[in-house]
Structure 1
Amino acid sequence: MATKMPSKLLTWLIISTCALTFFYSQLLSYSKAPSSPQPVPCNLFAGKWVIGPNRRRPIYDESCPFHRNAWNCLRNQRDNMELINSWRWVPEDCELNEIDPVEFMGVMRNKRIGFVGDSLNENFLVSLLCILRVADAGAKKWKRKGAWRGAYFPKFNVTVAYHRAVLLARFDEWLPKQSDRDEVKIVHRVDVDIPAKEWGDIGGFYDILIFNTGHWWGYDKFPKESPLAFYEGGKPIVPPPDILDGLQIVLKNMAAYIQREFPTTLKLWRLQSPRHFHGGDWNQNGSCLFDKPLKNSEDIYMVVISEQIDLWFDPSNNGVNKEARVINQLIVKALQDTDIELLDLTRLSEFRADAHPAIWLGKKDAVAVWGQDCMHWCLPGVPDTWVNILWQHVRFRLGVTAS
């Protein structure tokens, strides 16, 4: 008996060691940094705008209760709205189907969708809310958890909301010391490693999140008289970064925060929505009174099309609309090695100089005070195409087959 026990014990130890080694290796594999998700098999972002003989009516109209007045171009009687909504985005190698609100809500039943960022994400949200209301006319306005606005759809128990956080990171105004007031009136403190309070406590609440930032990162918003001052760990960053370097630091920190706090959430980041100011910036009499996309995308001279778009948006041309591509480069870099997926809606939107509210803002003297709106989009309009792309992307991620 004395000679058999060590043999059995040795066998047991070997088996136990192998099992522990296997489970430990599996644990290590799960603890690694998340790899980038497999790309959606169809590239929805490369294609062209076409206009066909069968013009579809928009899925919603000016009566949608979730409209924002300045973007309600039907109610504001913007010229050419029928033409604006006759253009259809056609990807190069696949088909982009129009969203079916009932199908969408059926798949999203008992789920929550959140948008976090600036007013261009709000523009996106309003389009989605008006589309989804077609499936549930009993939708109610919803504003909780720090949300700026949103809606609850009781028929499907679905919540869709927007959290306004223009820089994503926390920022506050404060007055400098008395001795410095002659030089600087107001300073905006940005804590690069702390999310804005408007979305800082939504961890675990949303099943899908769509982020953006960019349009507030400019000297028109924060001139030298009221600059941004960047803090990390509660202390000033030395030497002080300029505004774009500060953005890069914020993007890096916010990406890390999102990875840490939303491990099971489907996380998307919408790249920049391009502006279309012609002849000057928004405060320099810039205009966007166009009646068609920058170039008819059916034109066979695609090189000419590319050159025209680049004249507007290539940073090397130093035009007033260069910000989109500049900031996109920083975003793409910051999101490397994360599982945050890009919604690259920039290129397809660059063509649509014709689809902004422009002078039709629904408020007397608005243009005289603020200039033309060549940044946000008419609704119905281009953001409805964004919604179609979002749905096709989400459907793939959730494993829902096309109907």
Structure 2
Amino acid sequence: MATKPSTLLTWLVLSTCSLIIFYSKLLPLYPSSKPSNTPSSSSPPPPCNLFNGNWVIDPNHRRPIYDETCPFHRNAWNCIRNQRDNMDRINSWKWVPDDCDLHEIDPFEFMSLMRDKRIGFIGDSLNENFLVSLLCILRVADMGAKKWKRKGAWRGAYFPKFNLTVAYHRAVLLAKYNQNIEEINGVKGVHRVDVDIPAKEWSEIGGFYDVLIFNTGHWWGYDKFPKDSPLVFYKGGTPIIPAPNMLEGLEIVLKNMVSYIEKEFPKTLKFWRLQSPRHFHGGDWNQNGSCLFNQPLQKFELDLWFDPSNNGVNKEARLINKLIIKAIEETSIELLDLSYLSEFRADAHPATWLGKKDAVSVWGQDCMHWCLPGVPDTWANVLWQLIRYRLGTR
């Protein structure tokens, strides 16, 4: 009879150990819904879809993390200084993903993770818009930030407390292009695009950056390159025949630039930001198009504005996104799909508040770029969450 309690005790101990081992193996599959405040290199939470969701009024709305005094502002986007209407309302909306939480970027945590690293934005002025937002956010954690322009960068900043560099390389087509004065195919003043050569503004960055964010698209239109001054596409130093049209040329450039990026930056964390949608209403930018809205669009309105089948003035984003998605399939470049969340925000552009007296009469309303503080700050939140996860899993 004395052996039974001992046997029972042994059985209980062994059973308990087995259960502990079993559940310890399951735990990584069920991460906490509240990620820790510091990134973990061992078991960060898996990524969720940050790109689908809705904008809601934030009941805990606070003032934006930066204001009009940020030295990295570009005047036309500094909507507080330019006294744009409803700026408090614009910044009271919060993007809420459908199946997870989007945490506001913590500039101290961000730069602690990115200490001794470098982040590069390459593309057109919408990536510059993105950069300015990020620079102003990060400056909160290092007021000694200095302007930085090296390696062909258009603009940027160095944060000495964290030895972090964040910069933008202006390469609107990504590929090399220049205006030819000689006649080609009977047309003078054409713009030559070498589809297989990256623009010099970023062709020599080598392995300088740890994170790269690419974009292109807003210059791929006949408003930038009209038919009397067209793009002519070259490969291997000779014209491509038959001559591609604008979107065909973009597709060729994307294929070649993606190939170059994969070859030249194999160890770099790479993102490709999908298009930032425009919100011209009643005409294009040079046709008295306007974006004087006080509210975001409703979900049912998005296709009316952006579906190419409706042939509206803002159809370019979805058209170009299809080409980008196809180009980076099965590569190490990650999609940074900020298009959908931005489509709602017709209310958040500089519009007529451009900081210069005659800007609207010359250039029309700006319904393409974004007020700062504003929507690009949400882009920064998304980018931060993805970087935080990706660097934590390396």
TM bucket, shorter chain: 0.7 to 0.9
* Equivalent position of 2:100 in the other structure: 94
1:41 to 33, 47, 64: 47
Residue 373 of structure 2 is aligned to residue 370 of structure 1: no
2:201 to 198, 202, 205: 198
Residue 86 of structure 2 is aligned to residue 83 of structure 1: no
1:342 to 335, 348, 351: 335
Residue 218 of structure 2 is aligned to residue 215 of structure 1: yes
What is the distance in 1 between the residues matched to 2:273 and 2:183? Answer: 39
* Equivalent position of 1:397 in the other structure: 390
* Equivalent position of 2:249 in the other structure: 246
What is the distance in 2 between the residues matched to 1:205 and 1:238? Answer: 36
What is the distance in 2 between the residues matched to 1:218 and 1:88? Answer: 32
Residue 157 of structure 2 is aligned to residue 157 of structure 1: no
What is the distance in 2 between the residues matched to 1:49 and 1:198? Answer: 36
Letter in 2 for 1:314: D
**1:1-30 per-position Cα deviation (integer Å, ceiling 9, x unaligned):** xxxxxxxxxxxxxxxxxxxxxxxxxxxxxx
* Equivalent position of 1:172 in the other structure: 178
DSSP 3-state at the match of 2:158: strand
Number of paired residues? 350
Name the CA shift for 1:240/1:87 in 2 (closer, same or farther; >3 Å). Answer: same
1:177 positional shift: 3.3
Correspondences of 1:232-243 after superposition (within 5 Å): 232-243=235-246
Q: Please give the TM-score of this superposition, normalised by the length of structure 2.
A: 0.87
What is the distance in 2 between the residues matched to 1:267 and 1:219? Answer: 29
Letter in 2 for 1:240: A
**1:234-258 per-position Cα deviation (integer Å, ceiling 9, x unaligned):** 0100000000000000000000000
2:259 to 256, 269, 272: 256
DSSP 3-state at the match of 1:312: helix
**1:174-204 per-position Cα deviation (integer Å, ceiling 9, x unaligned):** 1123994xxx341000000000000000111
2:116 to 110, 117, 121: 110
Residue 315 of structure 2 is aligned to residue 322 of structure 1: yes
Letter in 2 for 1:249: I
DSSP 3-state at the match of 2:133: helix
DSSP 3-state at the match of 1:398: helix
What is the distance in 1 between the residues matched to 2:345 and 2:46? Answer: 25
Residue 280 of structure 2 is aligned to residue 280 of structure 1: no
Q: Point out the more displaced range, 81-90 or 184-193.
A: 184-193
Residue 262 of structure 2 is aligned to residue 267 of structure 1: no
Structure 2 unaligned runs (5+)?
Answer: 1-44
What is the distance in 2 between the residues matched to 1:157 and 1:178? Answer: 49
* Equivalent position of 2:8 in the other structure: none
Query: CA contact under 8 A between 1:66 and 1:129: conserved in structure 2?
Result: yes
1:354 to 330, 347, 350: 347
* Equivalent position of 1:381 in the other structure: 374
Query: CA contact under 8 A between 1:150 and 1:159: conserved in structure 2?
Result: yes
Query: CA contact under 8 A between 1:40 and 1:393: conserved in structure 2?
Result: no
Name the CA shift for 1:368/1:40 in 2 (closer, same or farther; >3 Å). Answer: farther
DSSP 3-state at the match of 1:50: strand
Letter in 1 for 2:189: I
Name the CA shift for 1:288/1:203 in 2 (closer, same or farther; >3 Å). Answer: same
What is the distance in 1 between the residues matched to 2:108 and 2:326? Answer: 37
Where has structure 1 moved over 4 Å in runs of 4 or more?
none
Letter in 1 for 2:236: G
Query: CA contact under 8 A between 1:139 and 1:153: conserved in structure 2?
Result: yes
What is the distance in 2 between the residues matched to 1:178 and 1:336? Answer: 35
Name the CA shift for 1:327/1:40 in 2 (closer, same or farther; >3 Å). Answer: farther
What is the distance in 2 between the residues matched to 1:49 and 1:310? Answer: 17
Letter in 2 for 1:332: I
Name the CA shift for 1:271/1:224 in 2 (closer, same or farther; >3 Å). Answer: same
1:52 positional shift: 3.0
